Amino acid sequence: MCEMVTCYCCGNEIDIDNANVVEDEYVCDSCYDEETFECDCCGDRTFNRNRVSDEDIEICEYCYDNHYYRCEECECLIHDDDVSWINDDYPYCSQCYDEVQDSYKIKHYGYKPKPIFYKSSNENSVRYYGVELEIDDGGQDDDNAKEILETANSCETLMYAKTDGSLGDGMELVSHPCSINFHRSRFPWNDILQEAIELDYSSHYAETCGLHIHIGRAELGGTPEKQDEVIGRILFFFESHWNEMVKFSRRTAKQLAKWATRRGYQAQPADILDDAKKKRYERYTCVNIAPSDTVEIRLFRGTLKFNTFIAALEMVDSICENAVRLTDEEIQRQSWGDFVTAIDPAYTELIQYLKEKRLYINEPVSVEAEV
């Protein structure tokens, strides 16, 4: 008389002599074909629930835990004999490793990848800002770029480096667009600036360097007409408070004339915008409207000092918020004192910087040297 056993998967009775054994369990022929697979690494038969796979191979969990990694970029499975490591923490297949290593090299000036937009998880409606920070005197050097970009991109692809003809011996660090809160709290700017200093770069004292901040046009208004209204008020703000903004910028008169010229005051925001549109492709202005998707603030001198850097970002966001919130008539009546007292109190780096520059109602404060 034959001994009968129960199939582990479907529960049907099967002759033990005709049963398949998978992971010490009896399985009928049908379930053997449908519910199990053969590991491409060890060759053992395993239940599907314990399968790890990509487009090319399927392996059991034991082999995955002991012999394989997933590529950080494409998520393919890599045997531990073939894995390539970045920072000893991130496994890559050979193809992705080569691509990532290439991404750490300084790109040509015209390089422009598809933008990646970053914001904090709790943010809904945000404005996005892209940063171009020029650093000089430390070498147009791929090894240096790799050091800086590994610091910037240790968790996410936040930045790339490009050449810039205005620099003597340096590079331009370009961020992907991020919300102001992401820049302030999650972007590793302090570590990036310190890395650049340790590699003997300068920015403020290099004379050649600027800090350019791009504002996403789409977030300034729901229609092109609304966006133009806000951009007109941004232009008006710079012209109305030119002396204060020049002091804030740390630029010399020579630098302003060459890289960030004034457009010229007019009584109506719309008139300044109309004049700017007629000279749209004059990009070396304090507020450059030539880009189709952004407005570029070019006024600021470069810096490797964290407080100054974050203060510039917070200033641009405050100017944008001011232009979105106020009407033309309200911004025409607004004094510098009205503006600074309305700044978000959470913008502590900006308020500290304004105090250092005597652009805030305050007692004198101590000032650290620029970098």
Chain segment 174-196, per-residue pLDDT in tens: 999 999 999 999 999 999 999 99
Q: Which amino acid is at 324?
A: V
pLDDT band at 4 (very low <50, low <70, confident <90, very high): confident
Q: What is the pLDDT of residue 123?
A: 86
The tokens for 51 are 């399968």
H or E segment to which residue 60 belongs: strand 58-60
Nearest to 328 by CA among 241, 269, 272: 269
Percent of the chain with pLDDT over 90: 83
Q: What is the mean pLDDT of residues 289-305?
A: 96
Q: The pTM is what?
A: 0.77
Cα 55 to Cα 10, 40, 52, 77: the distances in Å are 28, 13, 11, 9
Q: What is the pLDDT of residue 136?
A: 98
Q: What is the mean pLDDT of residues 119-132?
A: 92
- The alpha carbon of 79 is separated from its chain's Cα centroid by a whole number of angstroms, namely 32
The answer to whether 51 touches 59, Cβ cutoff 8 Å, is yes
Q: Mean pLDDT of all residues in the chain?
A: 93
- pLDDT tens digits, 203-250: 999 989 999 999 999 999 999 999 999 999 999 999 999 999 999 999
361 has a pLDDT exceeding 80: no
Rounded Cα distance between 49 and 36, Å, is: 8
The answer to whether 30 touches 23, Cβ cutoff 8 Å, is no
Cα 337 to Cα 39, 72, 359: the distances in Å are 71, 50, 9
Rounded Cα distance between 58 and 52, Å, is: 6
Nearest to 344 by CA among 305, 313, 366: 313
315 has a pLDDT exceeding 90: yes
Q: What is the pLDDT of residue 97?
A: 85
Q: Which residue has the higher pLDDT, 279 or 9?
A: 9
The answer to whether 236 touches 245, Cβ cutoff 8 Å, is no
Calculate ∠ Cα 269-272-276, nearest 5°. Answer: 140
Cα 287 to Cα 218, 281, 303, 325: the distances in Å are 17, 12, 19, 19
**Local structure of 86: helix, strand or coil:** strand
Q: What is the pLDDT of residue 102?
A: 79
